[in-house]
């Protein structure tokens, strides 16, 4: 059994649940602090941990509770306040912290929250390390006094200088970027980007000749991702068209992903961003081995467009940690997901939505072309995604009706389509994705597979 398959708390992107309910109840959160502390103290006598959080109303008490557990076990805790997930990855490495902790549930609704862990190197912890910490969490939770009051511990004090360091890091990553005469709309999803984008774009608008409209920058604890952000790119697309802007940017709650919108009001997803970035890197002699890593969810059209440019597409399972692992295996300079989570290892250790936005803005300015023009030959195959709520995650290939429905789809679509059926790593969902030239067959098989899953496992 692999570490990932044995997980009970950690998904593909940390621990995630409804805030206040197991495993994000105060007692378990405190135990996470204790477990992380004990893991660090095996190798370091006086560990230092950096924390950051998003704008959910539960984030402050979760941060305070987790910090209390860390301090109880002798760890020094410092907080960067409301910052993006990639900010914590950068700051942990740059300032010599032994670990970084992010309190966020990314694109999930405000009721949810989560805990993500980074190592001193700025990368997410390996599966085996998270599994070992998970065992310690259960060990401590069984012995810790039950904590019923989520507001029992004092709030962590934030160090605003850390946020400023991250903004400087972003500016330094794309030297010479000019936004002059650009008209940009940026949707910050009432999330962590709302604390960073105003100062970042103020500083980048050096000559004052850019028009930058920042939307959804007034978080109230409950409006994060609410009808906005990277899960709703149609929102910024409408705004771009209404405002006659050149480009739209939209981030998720913790701003580790970015989606775009063109002047025609069209959505530009992570596949198109990968295509633009891959061609630019290849032209500049920076695309090592002429390979790009995407996931099983990326469209067949991306693979065909890259091939026309002499670039090979390698696929990894869904999840940025798996994309990164395949990138390291392939020695790739670029990788990412259709959802807008893009990895530039020569620039940062983690996917960063704000950094992706700056890279694209720089690329567009240098090329003198719009994203639509740069990806005009990207023919997107029709694709359908059906989510099925499940009560448990039983291996899908062990369910005869599901396996039969998948075989039937494969037999009919053959080389003209692709079928991916998997569980979400962060939610109680089975995802059925099919892309094919024949839209009727695509929808029919997606519905049949989803129905088979629903009949066996439906919540």
Q: Which residues are catalytic?
A: 106
Residues sharing a CB contact under 8 Å with residue 300, sequence separation 6 or more, in sequence order: 381, 418, 435
Tally of residues, the chain = 459
Helices then strands, counting H and E runs in the chain, come out as: 14, 18
The closest alpha carbon to 350, from 359, 341, 338, belongs to 341
Helices (H), 142-269: 160-173, 197-204, 233-243
Q: How many CB atoms lie within 10 A of CB 405?
A: 23
* Measured CA distances, 2 to 6, 112, 235, 322 (Å): 6, 27, 40, 14
DSSP 8-state symbol, 216: S
What is the rounded distance in angstroms from the CA atom of residue 5 to the CA atom of residue 11? 10
What stretch of H or E contains 324?
A: helix 320-330
Residues sharing a CB contact under 8 Å with residue 227, sequence separation 6 or more, in sequence order: 235
Q: Take residue 165 and report the two structure tokens written for it.
A: 């360091």
Q: State the helix-helix crossing angle for 85-94 and 353-367, rounded to 10 degrees.
A: 100
- DSSP per residue, 107-119: TS-TTEEEEEEEE
DSSP β-ladder status, 312-316 and 291-295: parallel
DSSP 8-state symbol, 380: P
Three-class SS of 407-421: HHHHHHHHHHEEEEE
What is the distance, to the nearest Å, from the Cα of residue 112 to the centroid of all Cα atoms in its chain? 15
The closest alpha carbon to 435, from 378, 379, 384, 377, belongs to 384
| Residue 46, burial from CB neighbour count under 10 angstroms (0-12, 13-18, 19+) | exposed
């Amino acid at each position: 059994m692999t570490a990932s398959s044995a997980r009970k708390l950690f998904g593909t992107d940390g621990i995630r649940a409804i805030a206040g309910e197991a495993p994000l109840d105060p007692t378990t959160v405190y135990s996470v602090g204790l477990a992380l502390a004990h893991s660090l103290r095996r190798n370091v006598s006086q560990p230092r941990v950096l924390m950051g959080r998003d704008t959910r109303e539960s984030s402050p008490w979760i941060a305070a509770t987790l910090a209390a557990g860390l301090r109880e076990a002798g760890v020094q805790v410092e907080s960067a306040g409301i910052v993006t997930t990639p900010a914590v990855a950068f700051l942990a490495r740059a300032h010599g912290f032994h670990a970084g902790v992010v309190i966020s549930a990314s694109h999930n609704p405000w009721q949810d929250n989560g805990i993500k862990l980074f190592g001193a190197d700025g990368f997410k912890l390996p599966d085996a390390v998270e599994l070992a910490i998970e065992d310690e969490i259960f060990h401590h939770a069984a012995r810790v006094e039950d904590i019923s009051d989520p507001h029992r511990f004092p709030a962590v004090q934030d160090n605003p200088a850390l946020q400023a360091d991250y903004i400087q890091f972003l500016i330094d990553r794309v030297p010479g970027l000019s936004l002059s005469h650009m008209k940009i709309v940026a949707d910050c999803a009432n999330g962590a980007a709302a604390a960073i984008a105003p100062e970042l774009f103020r500083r980048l608008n050096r000559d004052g000749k850019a028009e930058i409209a920042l939307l959804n920058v007034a978080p109230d604890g409950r409006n994060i991702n609410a009808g906005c952000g990277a899960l709703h790119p149609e929102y910024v697309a409408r705004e771009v068209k209404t405002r006659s802007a050149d480009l739209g940017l939209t981030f998720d709650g913790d701003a580790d992903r970015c989606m775009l919108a063109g002047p025609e009001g069209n959505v530009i997803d992570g596949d198109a961003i990968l295509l633009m970035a891959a061609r630019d890197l290849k032209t500049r002699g920076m695309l090592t081995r002429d390979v790009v890593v995407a996931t099983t969810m990326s469209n067949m059209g991306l693979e065909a467009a890259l091939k026309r440019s002499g670039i090979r597409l390698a696929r990894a399972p869904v999840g940025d940690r798996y994309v990164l692992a395949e990138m390291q295996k392939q020695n790739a300079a670029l990788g990412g997901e259709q959802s807008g989570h893009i990895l530039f290892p020569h620039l940062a250790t983690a996917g960063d939505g704000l950094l992706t936005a700056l890279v694209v803005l720089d690329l567009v300015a240098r090329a003198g072309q719009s994203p639509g023009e740069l990806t005009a030959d990207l023919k997107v195959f029709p694709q359908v995604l059906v989510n099925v709520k499940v009560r448990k995650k039983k291996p899908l290939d062990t369910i005869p009706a599901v396996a039969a429905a998948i075989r039937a789809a494969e037999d009919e679509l053959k080389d003209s389509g692709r079928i991916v059926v998997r569980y979400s790593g962060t939610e109680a969902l089975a995802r059925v994705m099919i892309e094919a030239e024949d839209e009727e067959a695509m929808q029919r098989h997606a519905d049949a597979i989803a129905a088979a899953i629903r009949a066996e496992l439906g919540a």
